[in-house]
Amino acid sequence: MANIDARLRENVHLLGELLGRAIRQQHGEGLLGKIERIRKGAKAARRGSAEGAQQLSETLDSLSEDELLPVARAFNQFLNLANIAEQYHRIRRRHPGEAQPFESRVLPNLLERLKAEGHAAESLARQVGRMDIELVLTAHPTEISRRTLIQKYDAIAAELAAKDHTDLSEPERRKIERRLMRLIAEVWHTEEIRRQRPTPVDEAKWGFSVIENSLWQALPNVLRQIDEALYETTGLHLPLEAAPIRFASWMGGDRDGNPNVTARISREVLLSARREAATLYLREVEELISTLSMQAATPELLQHAGDDAEPYRALLKQLRQRLQATRDWAAAALVQDLPAGTDVLQHTQQLRAPLELCYRSLHACGMGMIADGALLDTLRRISAFGLFLVRLDIRQDAARHRAAMAEITDYLGLGDYSAWDEAQRLDFLQTELENRRPLLPDDYQPSADTAEVLATCAVIADAPAGAMGSYVISMARSASDVLAVQLLLKEAGLRRPMRVVPLFETLDDLNNAAPTIDQLLGLPGYRSRLQGPQEVMIGYSDSAKDAGTTASAWAQYRAQESLVEVCRAHEVELLLFHGRGGTVGRGGGPAHAAILSQPPGSVTGRFRTTEQGEMIRFKFGLPDLAEQNLNLYLAAVLEATLMPPPMPRPEWRHVMDELAADGVQAYRGVVREQPQFVEYFRQATPETELGRLPLGSRPARRRQGGIETLRAIPWIFAWTQTRLMLPAWLGWGEALKKVLARGEGEVLAQMKAEWPFFATRIDMLEMVLAKGDADIARRYDERLVDPGLQPLGDELRALLGQVMASVLELTGQQELLDHNPESQEAFNLRNTYLDPLHLLQIELLARSRQASEPTEPRLEQALLVSVAGIAAGLRNTG
């Protein structure tokens, strides 16, 4: 660990030692000794020691069935504890003279750069104040850890922070260590794996807890930092109403292929969010009532507060009463359909107005310092979270809307909508959208599927505007897909504008995105219903599964360029919604670099993106971590807006066209055209077993069938477990090899040096390749795959070696990540704990598949723990 900071090394060692004590207390010295021999054997084997490899193999083989689960749990929990130590290390206290982390400096440094480049103070402040970034929290099932364990992990991080003081006395240090010991013992004696799948409401509550425990505190801190940096650079402050970052959610709204998300569930989540928001604001208002005891006030405030010696408290007590009424109504409405009383807050402005009145009065009466404390933080929270905490997006597959329209047109005697061409559909939809009469009679009895679509639209119509986000149409292919949703919403009684957002996911759909939007914007009447930006969602996960990351990345880039041009021609603002996942195979990677690599003109002060699964915890689980990542988003969007990357040169485009064409051919040649591939995938990876892991509320498959029916997340999750990491790199090796063979290496090097889009793709590819391990993948094949299929595994591992060689040639390195020795060393450390988990998982998979009886519960649990441990060790899983 020579390249790892001494304090991080010390914390990893301490947490590991305390875990060892907990294991010893329960299982004795004998099992702890075996765990230590396994660890040392894995470490020596990684260094090429045949003796170490033999020790590792022999010790694992000697484990009894009773020992398999605790050994798997030990390595799993060590990796979780290492994650905690690494997370805390990023946000640790800096000693005097020690440089602040990049995330803390990035925005002030950018503002200084922008000012030096000639941006006027007023325009710079205006641009910062107008920024609109929306992070959409989703419940994709990649969060392995149970919520109860996450809370204990957070408590461990807090104790590491308490320990990080040089002036602690010995009794204080021992007290912290005892608390750490107790927490780690609690972790050890808590099951890692849920017994039951979470419901969509459970997932939503998990999202609410991330807001309450982290983002609620982090957001006003970040805005305070922005305000200070802006004032230092420009002499101007962030406007009081500015909300550069907001939050939305798919938890309880994403019904695409998830039969567990219904109209009733969406309504329950909306009400739960209102109750949670009222509870959080009540806490704020109670604190303000306690604090704002002063008497001097403006006539405007006195008029609202009445004749009271403490007017601020009097006004705030009125607000407290309305918040209590709102909380109590939302709680009651969850149980029975109950109309809101007159005291219930219905609009965010009703919450904001009395607090703004207090703020203005305090400033007017010479008490600005008081106003700019907790009261300002509350106002900032209201700007970001509103009365409804998060705006709920609704997502549904376009096929469900087409089926509903076909049933409706058949009932009305108009024909079969599904058989009409696009022109017929548009003609019908436009006519009905302009028609003032209802489309359906009151006594219409739809099928269950159509009734559910209509009920969802009714929930949207009944909800306050501020509670709802966008209606996202997955697998959208045409203008009629958007108009069909608008008509269904109109039929449900929606009389306000709502963004209806086509999601373009496959390679063909991405290539057709701009013509579809061009047609949509040219339709009579559409623009009047738009009333805001045209939002378009770009799908990363399914386009990568369809065509591989080489072709999909270039298709996403070109689609964005074309969409920018189309919207510019129609004089309509474009808002791109990026459906990025946690892994490279699903468009993931560092957000700051990803935003700066977008096409010029595609980021214009607005940015919308998903934050998925376990990445929510890794990026926003602790308040200080959340601050760092929110800073990165703000700085990247501002820089991409005011200092966009260069337009790609014609020769760069030509090379990318070649790479994409060769990449998709190589990817599909394996995934679609290799007849043995599907069977090999199912034997070589734990894909089938992942279906038994109670992760999220959504099924792993959209329907029965092959790879095309598998969701992008388990598709990538399964390959990650075996360390082949295939979806992230397949296609790149052949594509790079051919470009280099054509003598275009110099152009590639230029692209890597000068074009952020290409540089970011290669950096992300290199990072995922560093996590790949052909030797581990081979071990899965040797134990689990039929001999007749094993040559295919040999071919795939050869392709992995090929893409590694091409990346090394392009980057001029001897080894992957030579330029980043800290990451290299971190991977090496983790491999010591990952290797035993892989070997255990291989054995457990073999036993599970050979058993004629259902797998013994302890072995099933050990298998699932191995999955969780590998996911923790590699960080981004699906």
Which residues are catalytically annotated?
Answer: 140, 545
Residue 214 DSSP code: I
Sign of the dihedral through C-alpha 850, 141, 797, 705: positive
CA-to-CA dists, residue 793 to 641, 679, 788, angstroms: 45, 11, 10
> 10 Å Cβ neighbour count for 584?
27
Encode 160-190 in three state secondary structure: HHHHCCCCCCHHHHHHHHHHHHHHHHHHHCC
Q: Which two three-digit tokens encode residue 572?
A: 């309509």
| Burial class for 855, CB neighbours closer than 10 Å (0-12, 13-18, 19+) | middle
CA-to-CA dists, residue 875 to 361, 593, 832, 833, angstroms: 49, 19, 15, 14
Asked whether 689 and 845 are in contact (CB, 8 A), the reply is yes
| Cα–Cα dist 70/66, whole Å | 8
| Cα–Cα dist 624/154, whole Å | 12
Asked whether 770 and 808 are in contact (CB, 8 A), the reply is no
Q: Which residue has the tokens 């290299």?
A: 824
Scanning 672-731, the segments in alpha helix (DSSP H) are 677-684, 687-690, 712-722, 726-729
Residue 609 DSSP code: E
| CA-angle at 714, arms to 713 and 720, nearest 5° | 95
| Cα–Cα dist 138/610, whole Å | 7
| Cα–Cα dist 492/323, whole Å | 30
| Cα–Cα dist 332/338, whole Å | 7
CA nearest neighbour of 637 among 234, 73, 114, 18: 114
735-772 residues labelled b (16+ CB within 10 A) or e (exposed): bbbbbeeeebeebbebbbeebbbbbbbbbbbbbbbbbb
- Paired with 394 in beta bridges are 471
Query: How many helices, marked H, and strands, marked E, lie in the chain?
Result: 39, 8
| Cα–Cα dist 102/762, whole Å | 22
Asked whether 621 and 147 are in contact (CB, 8 A), the reply is no
| Cα–Cα dist 811/804, whole Å | 11
Asked whether 685 and 573 are in contact (CB, 8 A), the reply is no
Radius of gyration of the chain (CA): 28
Q: Which residue has the tokens 């309509």?
A: 572
Cα within 13 Å of Cα(441), Cβ side: 5
- Paired with 534 in beta bridges are 574
